[in-house]
Amino acid sequence: MERNAQLGSAGFASNAAGALRFLAIFLGLSFAAGVGAQCPADSRQVSRIHQSFAQHNWAEVVHLAASTPCRPADSDFEYGMALAHLQRLAEARAALLEGRRQSRGTAQQRFDVELAGIAFERKRYSEAAPWLRRALKLDPKDDYANNFAGTVYFLLGNVEAALKYWNRIQKPYAAELQFDPQLRVHRVLLDRAFVFAPASVLHQPDFLATEARLDALNIFPTYTIALNARTNDGSGPDFDADFRAVERDHFGSSRTQALLSTFGGVVYETIYPSYFNIDRSAINFESLLRWDSQKYRAWLSLSGPVRSFPQFRWSLSADERDENWTIRRSFTGVAPPLGSLNLRRETFAGSFTAIPSGRLKWSVGAELSHRAFGHIAYGSALTPTLATSGYELKQLASVSYKLLDVPERRFSLITGASSEAGRLWSTPSGGASRFLDKLQGSALAHWFPQAADDRYEIQEQLRAGRTFGNAPFDELFTLGVERDNDLWLRGHIGTRDRQKGSAPLGDNYFLANSDFYRRIYTNGLFALQAGPLLDIGRMGAPTSGLTTSQWLFDGGVEARLSALGVNVVFTYGRDLRSGTNAFYGTLGR
């Protein structure tokens, strides 16, 4: 009867306590067995290993350590170092890894440095770099590790990362600055573009600011700032900085390049006449002339440095368009017109740009424009407010900032914002006016996954914009591939029958462009990259006919061909909603 009686609460507690005691005893015995199974180190043998190591008797260290079955971390370190001195590098690496496994915290730092040394001896610089990053994470002030890291990244061709680590020990020393004697640009302008000076420490921010100023001159499509090592007393790296560049001069850097860049757009009835480095002062004239009967355009631009200071730049431009627009929901298939018009627009603009550092760039300016609409066919896409002719005066402002720069990972994140605040005066009344403000923001992430090669390249760009106020038709955003538009949704073409209006239009948008490129071929003159793309976009609009307001998803492939300083872009995009295919090609963007 007692066996079948139910267990009361007191009985349950008693059994639970017994089970816990049994579990504690079991775990304790298991731990004791594990400790007992560990092999204790032979202190006399360890002492002999250490003594031989201090005497640099590498062969004896190896002999003693190899015959010691249970070595502490210190002995594994000495064993690994002795093997390295005997050029038995694979065995040295294994010994150091075992010693590192037994170490904890900052004690691992010396193993990381020496593992980097093993990789360096084997000329595996991309393997040495991560070990040095680990070591410097544990001890950022280690002079030897910082100098070592700078050397490794320099050998990998990553000058920016090399400077980051060398600067921690006030290196490297730039002894001389040398220029290609064939460059025509005025020497004073070139001298001012280089923020770092000879006979001084070359700091990473100065190097980046120099690159930003050289880019802003817009006369060097390709250039290098080579650091050529000098022999020194061993105190640290000394270099001569050697600037070599392909210079755009007059119509281009060569006759072939000039012809290609000027007439490369003839197939779509466009030419790009340009004249660079006027009076050897980096004053550039650029233009676009299009004679397409559906979208005439003439754009002219003149820009140059302010008083020979490359960190400041002025720009003047004029733009005239005469375009026929037909609003449709698609660039192919059945897509009835939802409205149409003729747009004539003239624009004059001026701006001032400043480059205070390699991370920051900002500009301010003003724009005066006039638009006139004709042959208007109102529909679900167009309203009288959108097609109001008149003048507009804008205040322009923009800023871009490199928010994140991790040179050792070859990753950067650049953010930007712009504002176009203006007032419109409609005609023919002349008295009615309205306020308009277009705000846009962007973030561009750029990454080269490999430590020392540009074979692979990954880019992610996010952009968004919104218009406040009643915008006229020509101030609307467009999501689609079109040569006058930079918001590329690559499964949507912005023209049909050569008329604009077949891509989503609106006054607010979101756009994400994801690109993965692989270098297919390069020989110094030509380079070909290609890879998959994914675009995600959404457009909002003041009328239902301009866009569907749906999220849009486009996948496809993009190829970029660079030849003699000219970039040609080919895209294939597929609208994943409708299944339509879009093929497009253009000269640079």
CATH code, 111: 1.25.40.10
In angstroms, the CA 328 to CA 348 distance is 30
- Asked whether the CA dihedral 447, 448, 450, 451 is positive or negative, the reply is negative
Closest CA to 550 of 541, 561, 559: 541
What's the confidence (pLDDT) of residue 559?
Answer: 96
Q: Which residues of 422-444 are buried (b: 16+ CB within 10 A; e: fewer)?
A: bebbbeeeeeeebebebebebbb
400 and 504 share one domain: yes
544 and 408 share one domain: yes
Q: Is residue 116 part of a domain?
A: yes
Q: Tell me which of 166, 184, 199 is where a domain ends.
A: 166
> How large is the average pLDDT for residues 302-316?
96
pLDDT tens, residue by residue, 329-357: 999 999 999 999 999 999 999 999 999 99
pLDDT tens, residue by residue, 123-135: 999 999 999 999 9
CB 491 within 8 A of CB 564: no
230 and 83 share one domain: no
Which helix (H) or strand (E) segment holds residue 132: the answer is: helix 125-138
In angstroms, the CA 354 to CA 546 distance is 37
Structure tokens at 232: 């020194």
160 and 179 share one domain: no
Percent of the chain with pLDDT over 90: 74
The more confident residue out of 172 and 11 is 172
Where does 38-108 have alpha helices with state H? Answer: 43-54, 58-66, 73-85, 89-102
Task: Count Cβ atoms within 10 A of the Cβ of residue 552 and give its class: 0-12 exposed, 13-18 middle, 19 or more buried.
Answer: buried
CB 389 within 8 A of CB 375: no
Question: What CATH number did the domain enclosing 499 receive?
Answer: 2.40.160
pLDDT tens, residue by residue, 192-250: 999 988 889 999 999 999 999 999 999 998 899 999 887 665 556 789 899 999 898 88
Q: Is residue 265 part of a domain?
A: no
Helix (H, G, I), strand (E, B) or coil at 279: coil
61 and 123 share one domain: yes
In angstroms, the CA 519 to CA 528 distance is 6
CA separation (Å) from 482 to 295, 487, 589?
Answer: 12, 9, 10
CB 18 within 8 A of CB 26: no
Q: Is residue 50 part of a domain?
A: yes
Compute the mean pLDDT over every residue in the chain, rounded to the nearest whole number. 89
Q: What share of the chain is helix, strand, coil (3-state, %, to 5)?
A: 30, 40, 30
Q: How confident is the model at residue 261 (pLDDT cuts 50, 70, 90)?
A: confident
Q: Tell me which of 211, 246, 281 is where a domain ends.
A: 246
The more confident residue out of 167 and 563 is 167
75 and 214 share one domain: no
Q: Is residue 18 part of a domain?
A: no
Q: Find the domain containing 331 and state its range.
A: 310-587
pLDDT of 43 over the 80 cut: yes
Largest CA distance in the chain: 115
Question: What CATH number did the domain enclosing 216 receive?
Answer: 3.10.20.310
Q: Tell me which of 166, 200, 225 is where a domain ends.
A: 166
pLDDT of 533 over the 80 cut: yes
What's the confidence (pLDDT) of residue 589?
Answer: 52
Q: Is residue 296 part of a domain?
A: no
Domain count, the chain: 3
Which helix (H) or strand (E) segment holds residue 21: the answer is: helix 9-37
Q: How confident is the model at residue 147 (pLDDT cuts 50, 70, 90)?
A: very high
CA separation (Å) from 308 to 188, 279, 283, 430?
Answer: 8, 12, 10, 43
Percent of the chain with pLDDT over 70: 91
Least confident window among 62-71, 234-243, 312-321: 234-243
- Asked whether the CA dihedral 323, 326, 330, 334 is positive or negative, the reply is negative
85 and 126 share one domain: yes
In angstroms, the CA 331 to CA 501 distance is 9
In angstroms, the CA 561 to CA 227 distance is 29
In angstroms, the CA 555 to CA 575 distance is 7
Q: How confident is the model at residue 39 (pLDDT cuts 50, 70, 90)?
A: low
Question: Could you tell me the pTM of the whole model?
Answer: 0.87
The alpha carbon torsion through 178, 169, 123, 102 (nearest 10 deg) reads: -170
Sole residue written with tokens 């698609």:
330
Q: How confident is the model at residue 426 (pLDDT cuts 50, 70, 90)?
A: confident
What's the confidence (pLDDT) of residue 428?
Answer: 66
450 and 497 share one domain: yes
pLDDT of 304 over the 70 cut: yes
> 477 CB contacts (<8 Å, ≥6 apart)?
465, 467, 487, 505, 506, 507, 508, 509, 539
CA-atom Rg of the chain in angstroms: 33
Task: Please report the DSSP string for 462-527 in residue order.
Answer: EEEEEEES---GGGSEE-SB-TT-----TT-BSEETTEE--S-EESEEEEEEEEEEEEEEE-SSEE
484 and 339 share one domain: yes
> How large is the average pLDDT for residues 369-393?
93
Q: Is residue 216 part of a domain?
A: yes
Q: What angle do CA 106, 107, 112 make, to 5 degrees?
A: 90
235 and 334 share one domain: no
Q: How confident is the model at residue 44 (pLDDT cuts 50, 70, 90)?
A: confident
What's the confidence (pLDDT) of residue 554?
Answer: 97
Q: Is residue 269 part of a domain?
A: no
161 and 182 share one domain: no
Closest CA to 47 of 66, 29, 27, 74: 74
Structure tokens at 109: 């730092």
pLDDT of 25 over the 60 cut: no
Q: Is residue 440 part of a domain?
A: yes
What's the confidence (pLDDT) of residue 199?
Answer: 86
432 and 479 share one domain: yes
The more confident residue out of 10 and 132 is 132
Closest CA to 225 of 172, 272, 275: 172
> 129 CB contacts (<8 Å, ≥6 apart)?
116, 149, 152, 153, 156, 408, 451
What's the confidence (pLDDT) of residue 221?
Answer: 87
